[in-house]
Amino acid sequence: MNQVLINLVGNALKFTAAGHVRLAVSLRERSDDAATLHFAIEDSGIGMDEAQRARLFVPFSQADSSTTRMYGGTGLGLTISQRIVEQMGGKIEVTSTPGRGSVFAFDAAFAIAQSIPVDESPEPPSMGRARDIRVLLAEDNPINQQLVIEILSDVGISVTLASTGEEAVELATRESFDCILMDIQMPGMDGHVATARIRRQAQRGEVPIIAMTAHASAAFRDECLAAGMNDYITKPIDARVLIDTLSRWTRAHR
């Protein structure tokens, strides 16, 4: 959810030369164990017409080419944001008037914690030596590629991308990494086979390999561990879980 708000507020600021950008959060409904919040990001920027709005959530596209030339960017952040919100059961709705600004709004449901654990660690999960950490990301989906790269780049982690299992094996054999993030369901050579081949390389046998998958069952976890992986995180990717997991395994590896 942090990534969605960063993308939407960032876009609002980018397209508002003067005036205001406002983030409003309100309670839509609540039960004993869950709450639905309504988020609205309003700006007084350049606005859009109906045809421009229709192209907003197309990957690598903005409202029109003149907007791209003037303000930069590809619009991929909006596509990522829409995908994350949809995976949470919602949808981003856009209202806009040319020259008068835009409103991006969506609902999202959250579980209500019965107790809030106190983190007594001396530093947050920001990975103090992040700039020394090199991660190999094996992922074929462009949306997930961009999301993980943005999350890790924000904390200074160096990311090398492999779009196929074959490329991941080649890079892992040729270069040294502190950790490998391995998508399981890549076309061609999948994550299980790629992991097995990396493990057969004596000089790379101990590098932590973390599976990335939409499956969260205990049986699937056992399959990942049996294939030679150390841990797994589920999709959609949660930024804090990703950073916490990398921090734990890179510390142990060092």
* CATH at residue 95: 3.30.565.10
Tokens 């395994």: give the residue: 249
Structural domain range at position 79: 2-111
Tokens 């406002």: give the residue: 22
pLDDT digits (tens, 9 = 90+) for 119-129: 444 344 445 55
Does 68 or 225 have the greater pLDDT score? 225
What pLDDT shows up at residue 254? 56
The model's confidence at residue 237, banded by pLDDT at 50, 70 and 90, is confident
Closest C-alpha to 138, from 229, 25, 42:
229
Look at residues 52, 82, 111 and tell me which one is the last residue of a structural domain. 111
What is the tally of structural domains in the chain? Answer: 2
Determine whether 250 is exposed, middle or buried from the number of CB atoms within 10 Å of its CB (0-12, 13-18, 19+): buried
Distance of alpha carbon 216 from alpha carbon 237, whole angstroms: 12
Distance of alpha carbon 237 from alpha carbon 231, whole angstroms: 14
Do 155 and 247 sit in the same domain of this protein? yes
Degrees to nearest 5, angle at CA 211 with 129 and 233: 75
Do 11 and 104 sit in the same domain of this protein? yes
Indicate whether 204 belongs to any domain.
Answer: yes
Do 138 and 62 sit in the same domain of this protein? no
